[in-house]
Amino acid sequence: MFEGNAQTMRVVTRLQVSSGGNGLDLTAGTLAALMKYTVSADGVKDGEKPSAKYGYFESETDVIAWIREKTGIREGQRHPLTWIMEAGDDIAYSSLDIEDAMRKRLLSPDDVLYEISAHGDSDVKAVAAELKESFKKIDRSIFSIQEIREIKSSYFRTVSINHMIKHAVDRFISEYSDIMSLKHRTALLDGCELHKLLKDLAFSYAFDSKYVRKTEADGAVAIHNVMSFFWDAIRLREKVNKLSSRRTTAAAAYGWSLISDNYKQRAIRNSYKDRDGKELPVRYQELRLLTDMMSGMTDGYLMSLNANLIQAGHVSC
């Protein structure tokens, strides 16, 4: 199973090219603050935010051990700044997902205002009242309909983000003692009704729309095709225990040539060890290389490559 947070740790500590071979060469404190989830795959626990997902792969256990040695932050604990980073992430996505839905005409600013106005929470109603007053300021005699939509969308962004920031700041202040002593366990936006409402709206009107579902379905097919192609490129070689050995088919050789040289060299030069110091099998190196290549693609590159592979007959439609 792929985990984006764990891959982020791998990107900044392993895959980014530098003369020292330490990725971006960030400090232990910066890396600790980057970790939203601080446990290994076998330490996941429901109900506790720092342990809700695994935060690193077995290949980065040595980096995690170094971070813990330098910072004193143990498994299941979060750096205090991580709570702020997570809140910023949640605020941005919950508001910008709605803005994106408005841009795609899946929702209008007035639809969003109606949904917010209908909510029973007093804080959410206060947001609705502020939006109504902002909308009234727009001079309809000056702007086009499209411009009015964009202005209303910008008002929505400003008002909603300000409200959620205030909620996060209030929570951080009220939970300051537990956060600084590394005992805190719940997201700063927990209990923010506006945040919950915006996430529900995004799912109902954006993520569950035919347009988005089709995009996801097309993407799933492309991922399957391209992943299968690169898996053959990685595994079809003459020497099982030597990743750099000659590929046994022309298609595998072509696929191998497309894999980022940085990713290949990282896989070829490094043997990975588990937390007990035992060397992991070559299959683990293969899977890490496949994950690195697939996760490093943009959506556009993936779809373009899939189309080219179908046209050349390397994969089926």
| Cα-to-chain-centroid distance, residue 122 | 32
Low-confidence winner among 12-21, 31-40, 140-149, 155-164 (lowest mean pLDDT): 12-21
CA gap 109, 99 in Å, rounded: 9
**What domains are defined for the chain?**
4-71 (no CATH), 80-207 (1.10.3410.10), 211-312 (no CATH)
CB 294 within 8 A of CB 227: yes
Segment 189-215 mean pLDDT:
92
Task: Report residue 130 as tokens.
Answer: 């502020």
User: What is the pTM for the complete model shown?
Assistant: 0.88
pLDDT band at 253 (very low <50, low <70, confident <90, very high): very high
> If DSSP codes are grouped into helix, strand and coil, which group holds residue 142?
coil
Name residues whose C-beta falls within 8 Å of residue 186's C-beta, 6 or more positions apart in sequence: 49
> If DSSP codes are grouped into helix, strand and coil, which group holds residue 128?
helix
Phi, psi of 141 (to 5 degrees): -80, -15
Identify the DSSP state of 58. G
pLDDT value of position 207: 87
> If DSSP codes are grouped into helix, strand and coil, which group holds residue 186?
coil
Side chain identity at residue 110, one-letter code: D
Phi, psi of 18 (to 5 degrees): -150, 160
Mean pLDDT of the residues in the chain? 93
Residue listed under structure tokens 């040595």: 62
Task: Report residue 182 as tokens.
Answer: 């590394």
pLDDT band at 80 (very low <50, low <70, confident <90, very high): very high
289: nearest Cα among 258, 314, 254, 246: 258
CB 15 within 8 A of CB 23: yes
Cα–Cα distance list, 161 to 106, 110, 119, 123, 296 (Å): 21, 18, 18, 13, 30
CA atoms within 13 A on the CB side of 235: 12
Beta strands in the chain (DSSP E): none
CA gap 269, 265 in Å, rounded: 6
**For the segment 98-126, what is each residue's pLDDT rounded down to a tens digit?**
999 999 899 999 999 999 999 989 999 99
Residue 307 burial (CB count, 10 A)? 12
Dihedral sign of CA atoms 291, 296, 301, 305 in order: negative
Segment 217-234 mean pLDDT:
96
Dihedral sign of CA atoms 76, 77, 79, 81 in order: positive
pLDDT value of position 98: 95
Residue 1, pLDDT above cutoff 70: no
- The proportion of the chain whose per-residue pLDDT surpasses 90, expressed as a percent, equals 79
Angle 143-145-149 from CA coordinates, rounded to 5°: 95
pLDDT value of position 172: 98
pLDDT value of position 177: 98
Segment 171-177 mean pLDDT:
98
CA gap 269, 264 in Å, rounded: 9
> If DSSP codes are grouped into helix, strand and coil, which group holds residue 240?
coil
Angle 75-77-83 from CA coordinates, rounded to 5°: 140
Q: At what angle are helices 145-174 and 80-103 packed, to 10 degrees? A: 160
